[in-house]
Amino acid sequence: MDFQGYNIPDDLLYTKEHEWAKEEGTIVRVGITDYAAKTLNDVVYVTSPKPNEKVEQFKSMGTVESIKAVSEIYSPVSGTVVKVNSQLDSHPELVNKSPYGDGWIIEVKPTNYASEKKSLLDAKAYAAHLNGLVTQ
Amino acid sequence: MSKATQLYGYHANHAKLTEFAGYEMPLWYTTTTDEHLAVRNTSGIFDVSHMGRFIVKGPAATSFLEGLVPTDVQSQPAGKAFYTLLLNDRGGIIDDLIIVRISEDRYLLVVNAANAQIDMEHIAGHTPGGLELEDLTATTAMIAVQGPRAFESLQPLTGLDLGQLKRFRSGETKIMGAESLVSRTGYTGEEGFEVIVYDSTNERPEKAMKIWEKLATTSIPCGLGARDSLRLEAGFPLHGSDMDKDTNPFEADLAWVFSAGKVGYVGSDAISEFRKVPPAATRRGLVLGSGIPRHGFDVVDADGEVGTVTSGTFSPILHKGIALARIRQDHSDFGTKVGVLVRESRQEGIIVKPPFYDEQLYGWKRQKGK
């Protein structure tokens, strides 16, 4: 779906801190939302955990930086990092160009996703959350 | 409630807005990176109307300003603009500013928006009788046109021969029929001009808006994001980040502002004391191999802290993190390797002399025709 020009794919789950999670077989792919990317304006630097490092749901797993600002990335899922999007080292702008595609950040082998995903928002709930933010 | 410049109507329709120094200002129109590169490669325009603009005039103006700032005033010819400081009695930096000697006994002071009120009180507090002090901030607009093609963007709008206007010179002229002051100055490191439109008011902003919209057909509108990344890449300090009311100017690499032998200005007794001891620190440029330095990050060597980042950003030209930092004198040689603590990790950096870009390729000294 679309909320005021921000793309919110229906098949993903979201955090209130603007990360998304996508279940793909036995792993969960993680990135930041179109709203987060557009608010940062121009992503110039991404720091993410390395493969085999542990991440915990709703805990900081890295940062995404624009020229002006630094923003924490909070993991939507607990587990072990299996893959990092190394393309972002030389092309951080992919986070802006394709936040749900080539701009993904890490892939995680989850430990308890079946239970954890109940604390995430679906597209409709995330759109309602954005609505609350932009009308504040 | 926040204030608006005369060009607010344009920004509200085209930019992401942010509040800065009490003004609703454009943060970016497209992206900070694109706007930054437009100024380095072609031409960009900035609404800088939020900056404080004061006129000091009268037969006593020169002697008054001579007693106010550490830079020699009386030797400046009419039409000259110069960078200087407002100091407190402790020798600390109240603000940095550009003074334009418009004519023999009429001066324009352009100060930082965030300090305009404090500056006005400081200036008014030292004003003798027989002097006129006027605040033009709300009754004029100010536009910066910056970049290697700034000349081509501005020249068609004015009868003043901009090719004859040297750097740090200014002239009064009409721009699209509006009485204006044009200075060949800026805050980006590039060739460029700053224009003050006199006969345009908050109630009747049409003349300033017409000039802005005309310039926007040949230059890229730029927000405060690019203004900050451009000044940092050029190595220009920002008051409030890189220096403040407690900063010894000699520890901010600003000794060049002090005219040789000059005394008798506000703060000069404290400055004479500062001169007796070597400064403990200085301002330097830093380039990181990886990571982006930000204000307040520690600069370290193997034995511990040797300085602090005072402002940092990502350089769109170098594709690296860059910073201005206050560095202990004994670690400040160019080429010295230091670390910067970027959150949990130490990133390797090197001390350099700004500007951060190659001056053969970028900035006002660049080789023409490239």
β-strands B178-183, A13-14 pairing: unpaired
Give B109 to chain A, closest Cα distance, Å.
29
Q: How far from B5 is each of B25, B66, B263, CA to CA, in Å? A: 8, 31, 38
C-beta of residue B195 within 8 angstroms of C-beta of residue B211: yes
Query: If DSSP codes are grouped into helix, strand and coil, which group holds residue A16?
Result: coil
Determine, for residues B314 and A67 on separate chains, whether the beta-carbon distance falls below 8 Å.
yes
3-state secondary structure of B330: helix
pLDDT grade, residue B1 (50/70/90)?
low
Tell me the residue ranges of DSSP E strands in B104-241: 106-111, 132-135, 141-146, 170-175, 178-183, 192-197, 220-221
Pairing of strands B132-135, B52-57: antiparallel
Which of B225, B316, B343 is nearest residue A68 as measured by Cβ atoms?
Answer: B225
Residue B236 Ramachandran class (φ > 0 left, ψ -120 to 50 alpha, else beta):
beta
The angle formed by the CA atoms of residues B124, B129 and B131, to the nearest 5 degrees, is 70
Put simply, the answer to whether B292 touches A41 (Cβ < 8 Å) is no
For residue A85 the two structure tokens come to 């999007």
Among chain A residues, the shortest Cα distance to B34 is held by: A42
- Interface residue ranges in chain A relative to chain B, Cβ cutoff 8 Å: 41-42, 44-45, 47, 63, 65-68, 70, 96
Cα B357 → chain centroid = 18
A110/A79 Cα distance (integer angstroms):
4
Q: Which two tokens stand for residue A100?
A: 């749900």
The letter for the amino acid at B95 is D
The reply to whether residue B16 touches residue A68, judged by beta carbons under 8 angstroms, is no
| Mean pLDDT, residues B124-136 taken together | 87
> Best interface-test mutation with A: which of B241, B292, B313, B343 has the largest number of A CBs within 10 A?
B292
Distance between CA B229 and CA B315 in Å, rounded?
Answer: 7
Q: What is the pLDDT along chain A (136 residues), one digit of tens a residue?
A: 999 999 999 999 999 999 999 999 999 999 999 999 999 999 999 999 999 999 999 999 999 999 989 999 999 999 999 999 999 999 999 999 999 999 999 999 999 999 999 999 999 999 999 999 887 6
What's phi and psi for B82, nearest 5 deg?
Answer: -145, 150
DSSP symbol at B137: G
Higher pLDDT among residues B203 and B29, named by residue: B29
Write down the residue that tokens 């608010």 correspond to: A39
- Cβ pair A74, A17 in contact under 8 A: yes
Q: Evaluate whether A118 touches A112 at the Cβ level (below 8 Å).
A: no
Q: What is the dihedral of CA B40, B42, B45, B51, to 10 degrees?
A: 30
DSSP code of residue B72: -
Q: Domains of chain B, with CATH numbers?
A: 8-49+140-232 (3.30.1360.120), 50-136+248-279 (3.30.70.1400)
- Arithmetic mean of pLDDT, B3-16: 97
Residue type, B365: K
Closest approach of chain A CAs to the CA of B158, in angstroms? 35
From B107-121, B127-141, B352-366, the region with the lowest mean pLDDT? B127-141
pTM: 0.95
Nearest to B229 among A47, A67, A96 (CB): A67
At B53-101, the pLDDT tens digits run 999 999 999 999 999 999 999 999 999 999 999 999 999 999 999 999 9
In angstroms, the CA B91 to CA B249 distance is 8
3-state secondary structure (DSSP) of residue B307: strand
Partners of A69 on chain B (C-beta within 8 Å) are none
Of A41, A45, A96, the CB nearest to B292: A45
Taking Cα atoms as reference points, which of A85, A84, A82 lies closest to residue A110?
A: A82
What does the pLDDT read at residue B370? Answer: 44
CA closest to B315 among chain A residues = A67
* Cis geometry, peptide bond prior to residue B354 (ω within 30 degrees of 0): no
Query: Do A45 and B228 lie within an 8 Å CB cutoff?
Result: no
Contact state of B291 with A68 under an 8 Å Cβ cutoff: no
Q: What is the pLDDT of residue A136?
A: 63
Give chain A's mean pLDDT. 96
Measured between beta carbons, the chain A residues lying within 8 angstroms of B36 are 67
d(CA B212, CA B144): 10
Look up the ipTM and state it.
0.88
Q: Between chains, do A41 and B28 touch, taking CB under 8 Å as contact?
A: yes
Cα dihedral across residues B295, B232, A60, B306: positive or negative: negative
What is the biggest distance separating any 2 CA atoms in chain A, rounded to whole angstroms? 40
Rounded to the nearest angstrom, the minimum Cα separation between B33 and chain A is 7
Query: Residue B254: pLDDT above 50?
Result: yes
Cβ–Cβ < 8 Å for B199, B23: no
Distance from CA of B198 to the nearest CA of A (A): 33
- B30 SS3 class: coil
Q: How far is residue B119's CA from residue B116's CA, in Å, rounded to a whole number?
A: 5
What digits encode the pLDDT tens for the residues B295-336? 999 999 988 999 999 999 999 999 999 999 999 999 999 999
Helix axes B32-41, B224-234, angle to 10 degrees: 50
pLDDT, tens digit, 9 for 90 and up, residues A29-63: 999 999 999 999 999 999 999 999 999 999 999 99
Distance from CA of A38 to the nearest CA of B (A): 10
Closest residue in chain B to residue A41, using alpha carbons only: B31
Q: Structure tokens of B252?
A: 């901010």
Confidence of residue B128 (pLDDT cuts 50, 70, 90): confident
- 3-class DSSP state for residue B14? helix
Q: Looking at the complex, report in whole angstroms how far the Cα of residue B102 sits from the nearest Cα belonging to chain A.
A: 36
| Residue B20 phi, psi (nearest 5) | -140, 125
